[in-house]
Amino acid sequence: MSEPIERLVDLTDPGLNRLYNMPVEAARAVVDRGDPSEIRRIDGSFALVARSGKRVRMARSIDRPLRYFIAKRHTPAARVSGPCLVVADRISTIHDFLRSVELDDQFQPSYTRMVPAHYLLEIQLLGCPDPNPSYTRFFTPRRDALPTDLDEIGGRYIGALAEEIGKWLRRVRGTEPIGVPFSGGVDSGAVFLVTYHVMRRLGMNPGRLKAFTLSLGDGPDLRQARAFLEPLGLSLFLEPIEADPASVDLGEVIRVIEDYKPLDVQCAAMALALLRGIRERYPEWRYLIDGDGGDENLKDYPIEENKELTVRSVLNNLMLYQEGWGVDSIKHSLTYSGGQSRSSTRTYSPARLLGFDGFSPFTLPNVIEVAEGIPFIALTQYDVPRLYALKGEIVSRGVRAVTGWEMPVFEKRRFQHGALGSDAFHRHFAQPDAHYRRLFQSLWA
């Protein structure tokens, strides 16, 4: 009779973990012990896998995808059988491995699972049938922890952002250039000004900094970027990156991010065009810092565009935009998770493909914790226009308090709507949702 055995294949790259207070092996040991309060104290960005016997534990931050798939092995001649757990950051990496060991006949992309951000996932390699994993939250920010004073809120929020940027800058080699994907919007504007400020405070040369703005023709972002920087005397940092809208290939974008949600595909298409333009111009460029996560933190998405949402659901649910409806919800996707826990591949995957080391400081727990402490209900009384206005007020006051800059604030616009004009956008992207799904399914046909 065959003896059941288990195998863990960890295909993640430990070098991608960005930890400030412990080495990777120590952080992995923390995950293995399974104490949520210990995991919360891991400072930085991580995707970690730890095994003890048949038990495997995994945890990740929101900016790092972590996927897994369980295959069954059975080799009668060698009397070997049992589960094989494959872990990677991409569906295609899992598929390639399964094909290399002739287990790809078991593969379906929908059978892969995403470890949800901010949870410790535990799974037992017991064989058929595989038990469901358990989830234990390790990051639970306290809601409504701050007063209603917008100056104090802004100072706390941007102060946390500056602290995280400072940690990151100290790890970047002193001569390396740093790029900011820049639209002149609230989030990229705050990241640029705070990075400039922290570099000067640390005695670094701010001449290493560039603000890269994508232009696919007649989009408004380049004009906005100039209008943001010129009054501050910082227009010398702006560098436009031009690209042809016809070069955007939706099939390629979907292959890169391994997802089909139209808004995320469109955003990733812009990221690919921008990063490809930077790479062509600067073959050795490595470091990027962006404003991804700022909209989620301050709940600044058009509620009316999503029929599932109301202002009450947005304000009453913990980290709704970061995590979706949550692991206990029927709407939670096991394949993708939800919220930015799912959509972070729109930023992560293009950067990885093109060889950049990207950093999204708004996604770190120390920054999210301040954002979740904002008393949104008291400040808005569930009024949608007041909610939309709140982000610019908080961030601009915080930037003033931390840096001294009077930051311009413009109307919110999505990346894909700013890089090209509305006519061009509709020509290239106005496809039904089913079209995006078909392109995704064709990857595995």
- Residues 299 and 376: their CA atoms lie apart, in Å, by 9
Task: Give the 3-state secondary structure of residue 149.
Answer: coil
Task: Give the 3-state secondary structure of residue 358.
Answer: strand
Q: Please, what is the Cα angle at 240 between 235 and 246, to 5 degrees?
A: 160
- Residues 320 and 150: their CA atoms lie apart, in Å, by 22
The 10s digit of each residue's pLDDT in 135-191 is 999 999 999 999 999 999 999 999 999 999 999 999 998 899 999 999 999 999 999
Token reading at 417: 């709507």
Residue 441: pLDDT above 70?
Answer: yes
426: pLDDT confidence band, cut at 50, 70 and 90?
confident
Nearest to 116 by CA among 184, 78, 157, 68: 68
The 10s digit of each residue's pLDDT in 256-277 is 999 999 999 999 999 999 999 9
Q: Express as a percent the part of the chain with pLDDT over 70.
A: 96
The confidence score (pLDDT) of residue 174 equals 85
C-alpha Rg value of the chain to the nearest Å: 22
CB 398, CB 150: distance < 8 Å? no
Nearest to 123 by CA among 334, 365, 324: 334
CB 113, CB 305: distance < 8 Å? no
4: pLDDT confidence band, cut at 50, 70 and 90?
low
Q: pTM for this structure?
A: 0.94
- Residues 239 and 285: their CA atoms lie apart, in Å, by 14
The confidence score (pLDDT) of residue 225 equals 96
> What residue ranges do the domains of the chain occupy?
3-137, 150-442
The confidence score (pLDDT) of residue 81 equals 64
245: pLDDT confidence band, cut at 50, 70 and 90?
confident
- Residues 222 and 249: their CA atoms lie apart, in Å, by 22
76: pLDDT confidence band, cut at 50, 70 and 90?
low
83: pLDDT confidence band, cut at 50, 70 and 90?
confident
The 10s digit of each residue's pLDDT in 286-343 is 999 999 999 999 999 999 988 889 999 999 999 999 999 999 999 899 999 999 999 9
* CATH superfamily of domain region 150-442: HUPs (3.40.50.620)
CB 155, CB 186: distance < 8 Å? no
222: exposed, middle or buried (C-beta count within 10 Å: 0-12, 13-18, 19+)?
buried
More confident residue, 117 or 1: 117
Nearest to 354 by CA among 212, 209, 196, 184: 212
The 10s digit of each residue's pLDDT in 349-375 is 999 999 999 999 999 999 999 999 999
Residue 92: pLDDT above 80?
Answer: yes
Phi, psi of 249, deg, nearest 5 = -120, 105
Averaged pLDDT, 410-416: 82
Average pLDDT, the chain: 93
Number of H helices, E strands in the chain: 19, 16
78: pLDDT confidence band, cut at 50, 70 and 90?
very low
